[in-house]
């Protein structure tokens, strides 16, 4: 069974600017190299999903 997605940044409540969010995504990609980092529109969050 697949691991649940990690909610890394809650867009609705984070208060980050677009530039700050993009910088944070870059940092998260380095921190979680075994995860795909993407915007989940339904969850309104930046999430990480384990690569298969």
- pLDDT tens-digit series, residues 19-32: 999 999 999 999 99
Entry pTM: 0.84
Burial class (CB in 10 A: 0-12, 13-18, 19+), 48: buried
CA gap 31, 1 in Å, rounded? 24
Rounded mean pLDDT of 8-22? Answer: 94
DSSP state letter for 22: H
pLDDT, position 1: 72
Report the distance separating Cα 2 and Cα 51, nearest Å. Answer: 10
DSSP state of 46: E
């Amino acid at each position: 069974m697949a691991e649940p997605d990690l909610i890394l940044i809650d867009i609705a409540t984070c208060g980050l600017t677009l530039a700050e969010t993009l910088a944070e995504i870059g940092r998260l990609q380095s921190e979680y190299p075994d995860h795909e980092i993407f915007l989940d529109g339904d969850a309104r969050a930046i999430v990480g999903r384990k690569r298969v």
